[in-house]
Structure 1
Amino acid sequence: MASLIEQAKKKAAYQAVDEHVLDSHKVIGVGSGSTVVYVVERLLQRDAAVNAKTVFVPTSFQSRGLLIDGGLSVGDVEQYPDIDVTIDGADEVDEHLNAIKGGGGAHLQEKVVAEAAKKFVIVADFRKNSKYLGEQGVPIEVVPMAWKAVLRKLQAMGSSTAKLRMAVAKAGPVVTDNSNFIIDAPFGLIKNPAQLLKDIKLITGVVEVGLFCDMAEIAYFGNEDGSVSIRSKP
């Protein structure tokens, strides 16, 4: 099953790069996560002369490392605020192309780079393809000093099992690339993700919410049978 999932990720990533990364593009945003490994792999298969004229904007320590290891030119959104296309993974995508991101704790940078792009493309495997969001919690990046206050407000909003994300190989919470904490807040099936996003963003101490609403133009899902399902914005 693991190999099928990896092949599904690879299929989706390769097709998305082939169809949306053009030789004329000068700045390309590169997201984070396991599927993005295959996005970078496909980018490295492009003509070297074309890549030499392209700047790649990563969204995390992970994607920055992948790009640098591949010998590609890396920039940031401050230097390159106008990005031609950003390709990123997702933890869950609904039928309207709203997404939950942040399983890897990089959703702040991911959202900044996605919003800076003329086109935002999602790549994922079949497990991430949903009718409604909410099969998992919403990752919320918070200022460390405010995490307890934010947690209480999220619980009052209906996420009774919201909790601080703890690190696996160290004692204490996960710390983001921006030196913040993450709260994972399950809300059940989310029928109106845009409203939930607004409500959470209004909580003092919240830096960013892992709900990406009305942002993606198209999503590619690699399937178990080797096919790729494409969902486009209406």
Structure 2
Amino acid sequence: MNLKEMVGIKAASYVKDGMTVGLGTGSTAYYMIEELGRRVKEENLDIVGVPTSFASKEQAEALGIIIKDIDAVTHIDLTIDGADEISQTFHGIKGGGAALLFEKIVATYSKEVIWIVDDSKMVEKLGKFPLPVEVVPYGQEQLFRLFQEKGYNPTFRMETEDQLRKTDSGHSIIDLNLDVIEDPIALALELDQTVGVVEHGLFNNMVNTVIIGEAHGPKVIENIR
């Protein structure tokens, strides 16, 4: 069993009967959804899933998990998702799978958030992983130039050599190659106030529990807020 599968299965054990569960996106969340599908089939687990991407929706439906749209539920009890980096102060970067907008919406309306990662994702400070910024196509070149002027080393996320990667909402992604983010709170505020930015991959202090895959087994740490 690999580390991603280990933490995915561990995280799925937090899901109880009657819960509405945010279903994350990515290679680690994949295993969590697979395990929930097994529990639905073998244990008659009664849950509703709220997916954070078209890919997670298709996977969950194929496994027999009841799916509802974010606007069809009154709340989400628990969201389980991966992360690309997590700092010692429980700030995170997400969006490597281009689902950051839906992921942040679902996390915002969740009572509890669990992130599942392998130990390579735990860092002292954020920034080695490129920070995704989801932008509307109209004016995206202007934003790109703005980020260049600020020294943020922007690159457009590409699907192919000559085709931009599009999110499930039809937006583009500009990745900021920052190396280190000294103040994620200030940077998040700056990006929030930048016209044309739809969302960014800074998930600051949004997580309650982190499950880390380590060689000897999963390690659970809690963000006491």
Q: TM-score, normalised by structure 1?
A: 0.90
- The amino acid that maps onto 2:173 is I
Q: Is residue 91–residue 102 contact of structure 1 (8 Å, CA) maintained in 2?
A: yes
1:233 aligns with 2:218: no
Post-superposition shift, 1:42? 1.4
1:3 aligns with none
Match of 1:163 in 2: 155
Match for 1:210 among 201, 211, 215?
Answer: 201
* RMSD of aligned Cα (Å): 1.5
Q: Secondary structure at the match of 1:119?
A: strand
Aligned with 1:152 (options 137, 145, 163): 145
2:168 paired residue number: 177
Q: Are the counterparts in 1 of residues 40 and 64 from structure 2 also a CA contact under 8 Å?
A: no
1:81 to 1:149, Cα distance in 2 relative to 1, 3 A: farther
Q: Which runs of 4+ in 1 moved over 4 A?
A: none
Q: Is the 8 A contact 1:11 1:226 kept in 2?
A: no
For residues 22-33 of structure 1, the aligned pairs below 5 Å read 22-25=16-19, 27-33=20-26
Q: Which stretches in structure 1 are left out of the alignment for 5+ residues?
A: 1-5
Provide the secondary structure at the position in 1 that maps to 2:70: coil
- Residue 191 of structure 1 deviates from its aligned partner by 2.2
TM superposition shift of 1:24: 3.8
Q: Could you list the runs of 5+ residues in structure 2 that have no partner in the other structure? A: none
Matches within 5 A, 1:1-234: 7-18=2-13, 20-25=14-19, 27-48=20-41, 50-51=44-45, 53-159=46-152, 161-168=153-160, 171-223=162-214, 225-234=215-224
Distance 1:97 1:116 in 2: 18
- Bigger drift between 150-159 and 110-119 goes to 150-159
Deviations along 1:120-142, whole A, 9 cap, x unmatched? Answer: 11001122111111112100000
Query: What is the SS of the residue equivalent to 1:163?
Result: strand
Q: How far apart in 2 are the matches of 1:85 and 1:50? A: 19
The structural deviation recorded for 1:81 is 3.7
Shift of 1:163: 1.2
Alignment partners' CA distance in 1, 2:28 and 2:51: 14
Cα distance change of structure 1 residues 47 and 143 upon mapping to structure 2, 3 Å threshold: closer
Deviation at 1:47, TM superposition (A): 4.8
What do residues 166-223 of structure 1 show as CA deviations (whole Å, max 9, x unaligned)?
A: 113x731001100000000022211211111111121110000011001000111101
In structure 2, how many angstroms separate the alpha carbons of the residues matched to 1:24 and 1:67? 17
Are the equivalent residues in 2 in contact too, given 1:91–1:101 (CA < 8 A)? Answer: yes
CA drift at 1:13: 1.4
Q: Determine helix, strand or coil for the equivalent of 1:87.
A: strand
